[in-house]
């Protein structure tokens, strides 16, 4: 079995991540990383725990932005 480059499928196409690190979510939202952690603690931005790390589903980012647009 050949080794695939990180983030690529068997045809070399880029695979979009389903979960983001808090730093990546912060960059996507154009806010500070500490603000992402505040939002997660407050329950305003949903996250999942995998082992000892937290990841933010793309759908959670979209839902957060939709809520902001509704305000």
| Domain ranges (residues) in the chain | 19-70
Answer yes or no: are the C-beta atoms of 7 and 14 closer than 8 Å. Answer: yes
User: What is the arithmetic mean of pLDDT over 23-38?
Assistant: 97
**Residue 3 pLDDT level (bands cut at 50, 70, 90):** very low
Whether 7 shows a pLDDT value over 80: the answer reads no
What per-residue confidence (pLDDT) applies to 8? 62
pTM: 0.77
Whether 14 shows a pLDDT value over 90: the answer reads no
Which residue, 51, 60, 52, 46, is CA-closest to 17? 60
């Amino acid at each position: 079995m050949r080794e695939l480059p990180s983030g690529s499928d068997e045809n070399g196409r880029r695979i979009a991540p389903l979960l983001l690190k808090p730093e990546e979510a912060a960059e996507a939202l154009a806010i500070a990383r500490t603000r992402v952690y505040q939002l997660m603690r407050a329950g305003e931005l949903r996250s999942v725990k995998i082992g000892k790390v937290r990841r933010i589903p793309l759908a959670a980012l979209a839902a957060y932005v939709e809520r902001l647009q509704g305000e």
